[in-house]
Amino acid sequence: MKKMNVARKIISAHLVEGDPAKDPELGIRIDQTLTQDATGTMAYLQFESMGVPRVKTEISVSYVDHNTVQIGFENADDHDFLQSIAKKYGVVYSKCGNGICHQLHLERFGKPGTTLLGSDSHTPTGGGVGQIAIGAGGIDIAVAMAGGAFHIPTPKVRAIVLKGKLRKGVSAKDVILTVLKKFGTKGNVGWIFEYTGPGVATLDVPSRATIANMGAELGVTTSVFPSDSVTRQFLAAQGRAKDFVKIVADKGAEYDDVFEIDLAKVEPMMAAPHSPGNVVTVKSKKGLRVNQIMIGSCTNSSYRDIRTVALYLKGKHVADDVEVGIACGSRQVVNMLAKDGSLAILHAAGCRMLENACGFCIGAHMSPRTGAVSLRTNNRNFEGRSGTKSAQVYLVSPETAAASALTGRVELPTDKPVKAVPSPKKFPIDDAMFLYRKTAGKGVKGAAITRGPNIAPVPKGEPLAKDIKGVATIKVGDKITTDHIMPAGARLKFRSNIPQYAKFVFEPCDPDFHDKCMANKEAGLANVIIAGESYGQGSSREHAALCPMYLGVKAVIAKSIERIHRANLINFGIVPFVFENPADYDKVRAGASLDMRGIRAAIEGDGRLPVKCGKESFVIRTSLSGREKHLVLCGGLLASL
Ligand code: MIC
Ligand code: SF4
């Protein structure tokens, strides 16, 4: 028998469709799901419309952590809706204030050897405890909750072999930034990164989770660590010793590629504006004036991280001209920081202690001032994501953030490092803000659903027409993120109201996009998006497909499209095409008409479609599995039911 790596072991144990040796797509059974509020409302509306009486997973958890600002009634209405849905359908509900979904899930539910599907791109955080944890659009979570399989491209597995031990002042964030420097944010679609080698044993679970979390920025399907004695100790300290199973790669396990990192040689790194892949050494920016430092997010908000920051700041004060905000990942983290005196240290040092939530990471508050340099421990520094377009956001480790807070300039955390924080022997456990644990999986029959005025029904797509007369309504460049397509921040409160949210599609690129689409739609023309490389990077938000569908977008033609976004497009009946010859991108100008005659037959056939664009002509192509063809032809998943 083949020697198996960790990823293949877990995937084969969950395989329900396809053969990894010959099929391009696999269907896997999903054990656990998670949703967060900003994507959850749609996921549950879709689940509701499937008419299934209760969730069929081992556990499904609904977290509220994104839209917590509650200016106006919209966020609170969403929370209420989510709570009522959880009660009815047997979902565990994590109340607002409990913490950030990925940190909480790791602490209380993540189980080695299981599969987790989450409506958030950073769901792979669960890879830190040996889960195959994958981010997807809300409708895929709805299908999984209803007992359906989830489909992934048959993965290639790259071993990231860790050797040695990190130096003092260097941490997991620097490791994943090193990986991002090597592999970038594009070109990794379809891969799973599996961390292995003797260095793995030197990393605690929160550090592993940080690395797995930012695999999302690589664009991989997921990242995974083995489940070993470190995992066992973590789960036991969480009072979950029974959840432990050992899963390590077989000796001599096969990988599709191998990359080695000597942890002892990893340097403090930072991602410079405006991409997590734009990685440079901290040394190269030493002395740069900093205006703001934000610590937290699902990447770096564990006890280990915030305690480390407190050790750097102990008995000191942050520089006068820098503002420092800290958001912890969970109540457990806050509880521990309160007990060991760290909270008092951080307050005394002049840090603004924020809610245990996503907050600054998604631009929901604490936007920096115009032109500011902001150092942040989160995972994305896309232009404008902080809420301030002119801000220069650098992604750093908690150590670099803390050291720099003291002087208001970029500092090397290795100059005056602090002691390593040992893994707690016992975490304080308080699950009081997880509601409906007793009715999990069963639900409460007859429980009423609360639906405020901001919660609008989900629109359904229409079957794909035989021929399409299209317009290149917008032409965008490379690395367009879902934050460009469907902005969050101030617009986030419309997540449950598609007609309203659709007004802001492509707001940062072309504020008139909505109106142009509506006019074309009225004139019987199909809207088409033209894009460069790596279209749809970033978030799992299906709104970046659902809202364009609502505006009459029928196809995207790009040089390449990222995995989650491609799946979301298909789920909402938008055809994801690529240029057969990428240079043909230059033949299309914004506003040009596109003759896409025979589109339906092309999908039914080999996926190749010749397109006429004025005097130019070129060929576009889509490679869809049988299942995907069916969805696109029907007008999306909901329309196919
Ligand atoms: C993000 O970090 O971009 C988000 C906000 O968590 C998204 C989900 C969303 O858009 O609601 C993600 O990562 O999937
Ligand atoms: Fe929340 Fe930021 Fe993590 Fe997204 S990346 S889940 S917004 S903390």
Residues of the chain with CATH 3.30.499.10: 269-405
51-71 confidence digits (pLDDT tens)? 999 999 999 999 999 999 999
CB atoms within 10 A of CB 176: 30
Pick the CATH number of 269-405 from 3.30.160.100, 3.40.50.1100, 3.30.499.10, 3.90.1150.10: 3.30.499.10
What confidence category does residue 490 fall into, taking pLDDT thresholds of 50, 70 and 90? confident
Query: Taking a C-beta distance cutoff of 8 angstroms, is the pair 118, 141 a contact?
Result: yes
- Nearest ligand 2 atom, CA 301: 8
How far is ligand 2, taken at its centre, from the CA of residue 64, in Å?
12
The domain defined by 468-640 carries CATH number 3.20.19.10? yes
- Residue whose CB lies within 8 A of the most ligand 2 atoms, among 379, 382, 539, 541, for a mutation test: 379
Residue 1 has pLDDT above 80, yes or no: no
Element (H, E) at 159: strand 156-163
Ligand 2 centre to CA of 146 (Å) is: 26
Give the residue, by CA position, lying nearest to ligand 1 atom 7: 539
Cβ–ligand 1 contact at 120 (below 6 Å): yes
Q: Where along the chain do the CATH 3.20.19.10 domains lie?
A: 468-640
Query: Does the beta carbon of 298 lie inside 6 Å of ligand 2?
Result: yes
State the pLDDT at residue 444.
97
Distances, alpha carbon 53 to alpha carbons 94, 145, 151, in Å: 21, 11, 23
User: Is residue 540 within 6 Å of ligand 1 at its C-beta?
Assistant: yes
Ligand showing the shortest atom-to-Cα distance for residue 327: 2
The residue whose CB lies within 8 Å of the most ligand 1 atoms, and thus the one to mutate among 67, 141, 362, is 362
> Which ranges constitute the DSSP H helices of 563-622?
563-571, 599-604
Mean pLDDT of 195-221: 98
Confidence check: pLDDT of 194 > 80? yes
**How far is it, in rounded angstroms, from Cα 472 to Cα 255?**
42
Q: What is the pLDDT of residues 13-47, one digit of tens each?
A: 999 999 999 999 999 999 999 999 999 999 999 99
pLDDT (0 to 100) of residue 625: 95
pLDDT of 153 strictly over 70: yes
Extract long-range pairs of 578-582: CB within 8 Å, 24+ residues apart: 578/620, 578/621, 578/622, 579/618, 579/619, 579/620, 579/621, 580/608, 580/618, 580/619, 580/620, 580/621, 581/618, 581/619
The 10s digit of each residue's pLDDT in 361-408 is 999 999 999 999 999 999 999 999 999 999 999 999 999 999 999 999
Residues 558/578, Cβ–Cβ less than 8 Å: yes
Q: Which helix (H) or strand (E) holds 281?
A: strand 279-281
Q: Model-level pTM?
A: 0.97
Q: What is the pLDDT of residues 97-126, one digit of tens each?
A: 999 999 999 999 999 999 999 999 999 999
Amino acid at 226: P
Mean per-residue pLDDT of the chain? 97
pLDDT in tens, 301-318: 999 999 999 999 999 999
**C-beta atoms surrounding 605 within 10 Å:** 11
Nearest CA owner, ligand 1 atom 12: 539
When pLDDT is cut at 50, 70 and 90, the band that residue 489 belongs to is confident
